[in-house]
Amino acid sequence: MRIANRYPGTPGYAELYVLALAHMANARRVGGERRKADDLFAVARHALIDNGVTDPAVVARVDDLLGSLRKDQRRLPEAARLLRRAAMQFSLVQAHADAARVLINLGAVYNHQKDLARAIETTRSALALLGPEAEPRLHVCGLYNLTFFLAAAGRFAEAGEVLEWNEGLFRRFPEPWTQLRLLWLRGDVAGGMGDLAAAEQAYAECRAGFVAEGVGYDAALVSLDLAVVYLRQGRTAEARRLAEEVIPVFQAQGVQREAMAALVLFQEAAEKDLLTVETVREVAAVLQEARRVAAGRAEGAS
């Protein structure tokens, strides 16, 4: 920003100024300060228009970053419009990796809109622009999302093929954050294919890993998936025992009040022998929403 302000008359100044504002706004977004991010993006958009900036790469970057903010704000139609435009602009300047990254984000927006067919199609388009050697981490992100969307759509055989065909690439990222989520997906695919023993093993290992990493929300959610496996097998006593373990374990994991309330509902239903697959999935939906709200809580405190 200081560099941009130092040479206001030089060629490229306006582009640099707009990009600086957009990246500052994005930093606010990442920090949870969404209102401040909104204000900075408004300044960036005005600067872009007032200075006649037409460089497709600059316009695309502003739309890209603003689209991420709109996604976080759950202003999903606007997010989709911005991200589609950004992907097109990046493609015009042959910035294929940037276009792919934006399309992966757009696929996530379509998933939030419950449009799994478009989420799958868009993510496949993103992967077609990438080579695993050029952008391996971005490629893994796209493959993970594609597998998740396929499983959510009930296309478990296809999801399993994606996991199997890309096992070598996944092994290149051994950090727990990546491997635990891949293990979780394998549990989803196994459960969808009817292999409840494999699903149980994956979920149990995943739960232990999340607890060890202190990732409370994901640990709670995968516990609910494990409870569903128990209930599908008629193992109600084990589901009840799991429910009894949830509260004391996750009180130490930093789970927010709203999420803890959902877990209490889970525990109470188990104690009253009212636990069903549908009940567990309803609790999971509440927990997922509580996690989303917690992610934006910093905005209200800023």
- Measured distance CA(208)–CA(224) in Å, rounded: 13
Q: Is the pLDDT of residue 290 over 90?
A: no
Q: Is the pLDDT of residue 302 over 60?
A: no
Q: Is the pLDDT of residue 108 over 80?
A: yes
- Measured distance CA(266)–CA(277) in Å, rounded: 11
| Amino acid in the structure at residue 2 | R
Picking from 93, 1, 98, 102, the residue whose alpha carbon sits closest to that of residue 43 is: 1
Q: Scanning the structure block, which residue is given the tokens 């070598």? A: 168
- Measured distance CA(253)–CA(263) in Å, rounded: 13
Model confidence over 261-289: pLDDT tens digits? Answer: 888 888 888 888 888 999 999 888 888 88
Q: What is the pLDDT of residue 46?
A: 95
Report, at the CATH architecture level, how domain 1-129 is classified: Alpha Horseshoe (1.25)
- Measured distance CA(250)–CA(261) in Å, rounded: 12
Between 297 and 274, the higher pLDDT residue: 274
Mean pLDDT is lowest, of 12-16, 93-97, 196-200, for 12-16
Structure tokens at 207: 């739960």
Q: How confident is the model at residue 188 (pLDDT cuts 50, 70, 90)?
A: very high
Phi-psi region of 53 (alpha: psi -120 to 50; beta: other; left: phi over 0): beta
Question: Helices (H), strands (E): how many in the chain?
Answer: 17, 0
Q: Is the pLDDT of residue 7 over 60?
A: no
Q: Scanning the structure block, which residue is given the tokens 């603003």? A: 66
Structure tokens at 234: 């008629």
Q: How confident is the model at residue 9 (pLDDT cuts 50, 70, 90)?
A: low
Q: Count CA within 13 A, CB hemisphere, residue 234.
A: 0
Q: Is the pLDDT of residue 298 over 50?
A: no
Q: What is the pLDDT of residue 258?
A: 72
Widest Cα–Cα separation across the chain = 74
State mean pLDDT over 177-198: 97
- Measured distance CA(184)–CA(206) in Å, rounded: 6
Q: What is the pLDDT of residue 5?
A: 53
- Measured distance CA(138)–CA(105) in Å, rounded: 11
State mean pLDDT over 152-158: 98
State mean pLDDT over 130-150: 91
Q: What is the pLDDT of residue 132?
A: 66
Model confidence over 240-250: pLDDT tens digits? Answer: 999 888 877 76
Structure tokens at 217: 């929300």
Picking from 30, 19, 25, the residue whose alpha carbon sits closest to that of residue 40 is: 25
Q: What is the pLDDT of residue 49?
A: 94
State mean pLDDT over 249-254: 65
State mean pLDDT over 141-154: 98
Q: Where in the chain is the domain with CATH 1.25.40.10?
A: 1-129
State mean pLDDT over 103-125: 98
Contacts 24+ apart (CB under 8 A), 1-4: none
Q: What is the pLDDT of residue 2?
A: 44
